[in-house]
Structure 1
Amino acid sequence: MVTGGQGFIGVNLVSELQKRGYDAWSADILQSKDLRFLRCDVASYRQIQRIFEGKEFDYVYHAAAEYGRWNGEAHYENLWNTNAVGTKNILTAQKEYGFKLIFFGSAEVYGDYDGVMAEDVMERIPIKQMNDYALSKWVNELQILNSSKMDGTESVRVRLFNVYGPHEHYSPFRGVVPVFIYRALHGLPYTVHKGHKRTFEYVEDICRSLANIIDDFKPGEVYNLGSEKQYSIEELSDIVVKHTGADPSKITFKEEEPFTTRFKIADSSKAKADLGHKMTITLDEGIKRTVDWFKLAYRIGE
């Protein structure tokens, strides 16, 4: 089962798991016409119990969360209720029902650290998370570690970097890729903050690595799922302009954005060794595919 299965990564992951022959179900607070769908707000333990009635899940991918640093600041009640209480509820259900858990964490937990982000950095160096979203994701990891010690639950944590691709709808709180593409296709201005570099991971590549976790499940492990090549946000914007035909004069350039790290350098060597993790889709090709999806989803050009 995938909690948050109607979300961007969840939809793609359920599809990948079903392609592999798994009986993969989706659980989400949103409605769905999918036959393998269970409606549930993870912040309600009663609703979580109900979805396990009569069903036995070997693995649960826990993707349900309030996403994004600015969303977390604007809607912090929702953030903490869904992310902290919701994850505690999932862990309580794990103790009761005995499934193995794969938790969707975030590279935001690396906070103000500006070096190579290896998984053990969190154990070696005092880190200051820079926003409520990052704090909530680190709290979630601590909850999981405590549950493992106290209750013997078995979990794997993953830290995602900048995943993008089809099925990520526009919101002003989403990442730069959907925001840039949506606004570019609609002829709207957008802002590029200079001085930042990021890795970008196409969602199909990430979902392949996520699905590989259950082939050789290693309780207690934590994996970075990132890529090696870094791009400046200006370079990303140029690729978006290339594939959308947007007017460059509508782009405003500003200095670095506050409360964010300037560089995120991912060390994904452990995921490469254990999960066969690799990026097969270039940023240029991935942006092209994502632009094509946006045109269909938002009926642009009809």
Structure 2
Amino acid sequence: MQKILVTGGAGFIGSNFIRYALNHSDAQITNIDALTYAGNESSLSDLADHLRYQFIKVNLVNEEEVEAAFSEPYDLIIHFAAESHVDRSILDAGSFINTNILGTHQLLKKVLEGKASKMIHVSTDEVYGSLNVGDEAFTESTPIAPNNPYAASKASSDLFVQAFHHTYQVPVMITRCSNNYGPYQHPEKLIPTIIRKALKEEPIPLYGDGLNIRDWLFVEDHCRAIWNVAEKGKAGEVYNIGGNHEKTNLEVVKTILDYLKKDRSLITFVEDRLGHDRRYAINSSKIQQQLGWQPETTFDEGLKKTIDWYVNNELWVRDVLKKDKQL
């Protein structure tokens, strides 16, 4: 039985991945999470009694807590844990530096010590910077050029991962994904914010002219991609994971409003975010050709699943927002 350590498993992508792994393998999953604003135990409350799942509260910056989590070695670490909200990083970059850089370093040391056979470091397309309309999509060889504190912290952690592989031959891989969406995403993120405000018929804030472009990836497709990397990926490699669904933020808002039969007059343009990247686009041909993965969920299909989930889980949304205010 494979033993997998998932960091940040109480967060959006991590919780979805844990469900995927438990449903598609016989793996034993240990989830460590600091339960900051992005991590919510309620996202995995239904797994509390699962025989192949355990949760340990761990702050990756705390060496003693990390050491305790490695009482036994793991076959694989999948490192999701990260502070990830750009707006928060602009207000205060400190926690992003601690979790995203120092926390990653703690895990790299454990792999170097032989406490894990290999590690997948889950990163983001934001490390590449911004594209103009008409530019070629990001490839794995695109130079890193982060434009906000969050992206800079992730780029820094990526470089540490690559340095540990080059210097110590640590068996690590990096994945860089486009914007994820789906169930259990924190309510302050773009798509959940649009949904919950539309349901209440509240004004929906949209940065700038609303024409910033993102490539949208349904979270279940992302989980499959990471599993493919775990099974077939090569140490030292970077794998881009994209959804092939580029949409302007304005298009996304209009699509959600139309699905919920709400008036588009709810759209409210607000002052643009500082350092707002114009466009992200991922070329994921490498993982498709080398590992046989490709996205399976269309944007319309994934968005409908996401909207329906939030409509049916208003209690979860309220609990997360309540907890967030208490932190």
The alpha carbon displacement at 1:260 in A equals 2.2
Taking every aligned residue pair, what percent have the same amino acid on both sides? 29
Q: How many equivalent pairs are there? A: 292
SS at match of 2:308: helix
Look up the equivalent residue of 2:237 and give its one-letter code: E
> Conserved in 1, the CA contact under 8 Å of 2:58 and 2:66?
yes
Q: Indicate the residue corresponding to 1:247 in structure 2.
A: 263
1:5 partnered with 2:26: no
Which amino acid counterpart does residue 292 of structure 1 have in structure 2?
D
Distance 1:110 1:5, change over 3 A: same
- Root-mean-square deviation (CA, aligned residues, Å) is 1.9
Corresponding residue SS for 1:36: strand
**CA distance in structure 2 between the aligned counterparts of 1:170 and 1:133, rounded to whole angstroms:** 18
Query: Could you tell which deviates more after superposition, 146-155 or 219-228?
Result: 146-155
List runs of 5+ in structure 2 lacking aligned partners. 317-327
Match 1:182 to one of 196, 200, 221: 196
* Separation in structure 2 between the aligned mates of residue 11 and residue 98 of structure 1, nearest angstrom: 21
| TM-score, scaled relative to structure 1 | 0.90
CA contact (8 A) 1:24 1:36 kept: yes
Counterpart check, 1:52 vs 2:56: no
Q: Describe how 1:65-144 pairs up with structure 2 within 5 A.
A: 65-96=82-113, 97-114=115-132, 115=135, 116-122=137-143, 127-144=144-161
Aligned to 2:169: 152
The DSSP-based 3-state class of the residue aligned with 1:61 is strand
Amino acid at match of 1:39: K
1:84 aligned counterpart, secondary structure? helix
Q: Which amino acid aligns with 2:28?
A: D
Distance, in Å, in 2 between the alignment partners of 1:44 and 1:274 is 37
Where structure 1 has 5 or more consecutive residues not aligned to the other structure, the ranges are: none
1:296 to 298, 306, 312: 312
TM-score when normalising by structure 2: 0.84
Q: Contact between 2:218 and 2:243, CA under 8 Å: does it hold in 1? A: no
Deviations 1:156-196 (A, max 9, x none): 1011111000011312xx2x212211221222211234222
Is the 8 Å Cα contact of residues 164 and 200 (structure 1) preserved in structure 2?
Answer: yes
SS of match in other structure, 1:117:
coil
4+ runs deviating over 6 angstroms:
none
Cα deviation, residue 76, structure 1: 1.4
Match of 2:297 in 1: 281
